[in-house]
Amino acid sequence: MPEITSRFADCYVFRCLPDGRDEWLVLRRAPHIFMGDAWGPVQGHIEKGEKAYQTAYRELGEETGLPTLAFYQASYVNRFYIAETDQIILSPVFCAEVHHEAAVVLSDEHTAFEWLPWDKAMRRFVWPGQRKSLKICREQFVLHEPRKESRLEQFLKD
């Protein structure tokens, strides 16, 4: 019987341009990383004693160097299966808004990045759960006024 576990957190990153358009960050995984060369969001392993939102926020900094304007919890949990470990993974989804001029500084986990309109980002993501996560993040935080309950900045303070 497969194990059900939650050991990853995902973070979808967007910026609002001065003309009102939104763009989404896509990262190309380095060849030495699991699923190398695939495009995806910020993603990372939850460390012992760490909360999922702390993982997403930490990974955002480590993988992109981007400071946030806002950091949200999405009302979605991505789920997928890994045959190698016979695990069903539940991965909480988070979303970060960054300044439109903020510079991305990649870690060695990624070889490239692009800022894309959401429809092109949707086509770039390989997995259906990533596309669904992106769609939900856009609806929840760009197309509609984010609910104050979704904001997590107060939890990120020391």
Is the CB of residue 55 less than 8 Å from the CB of residue 77? no
The two beta strands, 42-45 and 8-16, are antiparallel
Position 100 scores a pLDDT of 97
> pTM for the full model?
0.94
Averaged pLDDT for residues 34-41:
82
Between residues 5 and 115, the one the model is more confident about: 115
CB 96 within 8 A of CB 12: yes
What domains sit in the chain, N to C, each tagged with a CATH number? 3-156 (3.90.79.10)
Residue 73's identity, in one-letter code, is Q
